[in-house]
Amino acid sequence: MTNKTVDFYSKAAKMHVATDCIVFGFNTGELKLLIFKRRVEPHSGDWSLIGSFVQVDEDVDNAARRVLKEITGLDNVFFEQSKTYGKADRDEGSRCISVAQFALIRIEEYDKKLTEKHGAYWYRIQDLPKLVLDHDQMVIDALEILRQRAKHQPIGFELLPEKFTIPQLQSLYEAIYQRSLDPGNFRKKVLSFKVLIKLDEKDRSSSKRGAHYYTFDHENYKKLLRSGYNFEVI
């Protein structure tokens, strides 16, 4: 590295890079978001998304993995970059760019004690309190991306247990899109994709007849995806 290059970098303005995680979960027919009370100024004590500064020797995605692991105790969480937020005045504390990541987890699998230790709580999407900085906009943008993805990709399965019923799957899509769906049409459409494996086991919690459990067929989905198949659920 030449002296000219060193001088160029040393004179450049310094700023922080953060990653903020929009963590969605699904439980009892409702889409929820994991948020916590901010512990640093500005806005200490206000509701916030879960995030962290990216360390100097850390990739942005690895920073998101670290944050998700620290808060939920889970490895291999599905997450995806949604948008970068870089308005000069977005954070009164310091000049900071945030790379937002939306994550999908199965609520029944996370480490509840670890989450409580960090002061994090699940809120229904429709009951969310005001969030700090531009975090409200991050949630709005992430929800829109989730809805667009769910139309054509089986992304929603990341929010369901390993085995689920068709009514549970429909309930998830209704929670994502905040509207009712016709049960007959929904069942016909999702079964037509040939990506569900029907199990012998039934869920009898809501009726004596019960509803068959299904699992997601990852291998067949990959084959159909390579063939150019269009999974238009909604």
Diameter over CA atoms, the chain: 78
Nearest-10 Cα torsion for 197, 200, 201, 203: 70
Closest among 220, 215, 78 to 158, alpha carbons compared: 78
Contact 152/190 with Cβ under 8 angstroms?
A: no
Complete domains list, the chain, with CATH = 7-151 (3.90.79.10), 160-226 (1.10.10.10)
What is the mean pLDDT, run by run of 10 residues, along the chain of 234 residues?
A: 70 91 94 94 95 97 97 94 96 96 93 92 96 98 95 86 93 94 94 94 83 94 84 79
Q: What is the pLDDT of residue 4?
A: 67
- Give the integer Cα–Cα distance in Å for 76 and 193: 26
Q: What is the pLDDT of residue 168?
A: 93
- Give the integer Cα–Cα distance in Å for 70 and 77: 12
